[in-house]
Amino acid sequence: MTIGFRAKGGGISETAEFVNCSRAAVVKVYRAWQNGTVQNQRRGKCGAPRAIDDRGERRLRRCVRADRRATVEQLTTKMNQGATKSVSQSTIQRTLLRLGLRSRRLVRAPMLTAVHRRRRLEFARQYSSWTSTEWRQVAFSDESRFMLHRTDGRWRIRRETSERNHPATIAGTVQAGGGSIMVWGMFSWHSLGSLIIVEGTMDQYKYASVLADHVHPYMRIVFPQDDGIFQQDNARCHTAASVRAWFEEHQDEFTVLPWPANSPDLNPIEHLWDHLDRVVRAMDPQPRNLAQLATALESAWLNIPENTFRDLCDSLPARLAAVRSAKGAVSKTSNEKDFSFTKISQDIKDWLKAARVRWPNTFAWL
């Protein structure tokens, strides 16, 4: 740079200011170049060569893909097998980070068979013409279980950002055990329905009571023109003979939406369950017993912002489009949250502050 600037007519002082060095240094370098004792060329790369070259990186990537759950220690052992020069665990860790293979938790998503994927794709294609207007006539429902003491036993894996929905990075979901509360809820674009605390496990008889006491009144009030559509999954209690008979008796008042099996990622109410869980987990101190947990869940449900559940209903066309693109598999769009959790976090804080004022006795433990 010094030689080039001087060779183009730059003065000594101008060159020194441009390259940020002394005038004497400019004179010395330029004179040496004129005498042929220095060449105007780039410096070679400095520093020690990498312990793991490009070939080693490719081998490390293959080791990760062969066993997604391998620890850094295990990967180091595999890389050192048959190698002329061993590498340390810290070197493996840095290389993994450079390759974008960060340790991540398994994605919780339904385990889909070929039949599941085919039926999901058929469903997405059948309702491809539906816009937000049609989906606003649908009331979504589901059950969920909330644990009093949450446990987190999920494995951590290594994957690239683009591999989020790779089969090797997805963990099947199972229902939680004791110390928990089962709830049933429903909502549509127009309004939230009831949140029901279910004693024990939902069976066909309890579900029949829910249909008569909560679903039927909701559908009559929210959809007075008898143009409402009720959504439910394919749980056994939902498909029992007595339940099917009840729906047949009320088929003139509303219809039931056929739903593909094993597709909770398509049901927007799953995001409301996540919202409730975030509200409860933000409480300090936490609910100490199941009664307090039930009270917290019911109050959090009643205070879900209107724009939150409306945005979820309007997300159905995009969800189905993502399923079509994924050929029926779990897609990135359908399995991720479709609304801002930054705003939800603020809603949670505002709700907790208002709850302490509005229900001082009920939430004295907050």
Q: Is residue 40 part of a domain?
A: no
Residue 348 has pLDDT above 50, yes or no: no
CA 293, 347, 313, 270 torsion-angle sign? negative
**Does one domain contain both 68 and 212?**
no
**Does one domain contain both 273 and 245?**
yes
**Does one domain contain both 138 and 186?**
yes
The CATH number assigned to the domain holding 220 equals 3.30.420.10
**Does one domain contain both 131 and 271?**
yes
CA 204, 265, 147, 157 torsion-angle sign? positive
Specify the range with the lowest mean pLDDT, choosing from 52-61, 281-290, 295-304: 281-290
Q: Is residue 256 part of a domain?
A: yes
Q: Is residue 31 part of a domain?
A: yes
Q: How many residues does the chain have?
A: 366
Q: Is residue 255 part of a domain?
A: yes
- The domain total for the chain is 3
For residue 64, count CB atoms less than 10 angstroms from its CB and return exposed for 0-12, middle for 13-18, buried for 19 or more.
buried
Residue whose tokens read 């889909």: 112
Q: Is residue 361 part of a domain?
A: no
**Does one domain contain both 29 and 58?**
no
**Does one domain contain both 59 and 143?**
no
Write the pLDDT tens digit of every residue in 143-171: 999 988 765 444 567 778 787 777 777 76
**Does one domain contain both 93 and 131?**
no
Which two tokens mark 354?
Answer: 């208002």
Write the pLDDT tens digit of every residue in 73-122: 999 999 999 888 899 999 999 999 999 998 887 766 777 899 999 999 99
With b for 16 or more beta-carbon neighbours within 10 A and e for fewer, the 253-287 pattern comes to ebbbbebbebbbbbbbbbbbbebbbebbeebeebb
Q: Give the model's pLDDT for residue 282.
A: 86
**Does one domain contain both 81 and 137?**
no
**Does one domain contain both 80 and 121?**
no
The residue segments making up the domain with residue 130 are 115-150+175-335
**Does one domain contain both 200 and 298?**
yes
Q: Is residue 160 part of a domain?
A: no
Residue 343 has pLDDT above 90, yes or no: no
Q: Is residue 47 part of a domain?
A: no
**Does one domain contain both 132 and 241?**
yes
Q: Give the model's pLDDT for residue 4.
A: 77
**Does one domain contain both 257 and 281?**
yes
Write the pLDDT tens digit of every residue in 273-289: 999 999 988 887 888 89
Specify the range with the lowest mean pLDDT, choosing from 85-94, 301-310, 347-356: 347-356
Q: Is residue 359 part of a domain?
A: no
Q: Give the model's pLDDT for residue 346.
A: 47
Bond before 360 cis per omega within 30 degrees:
no
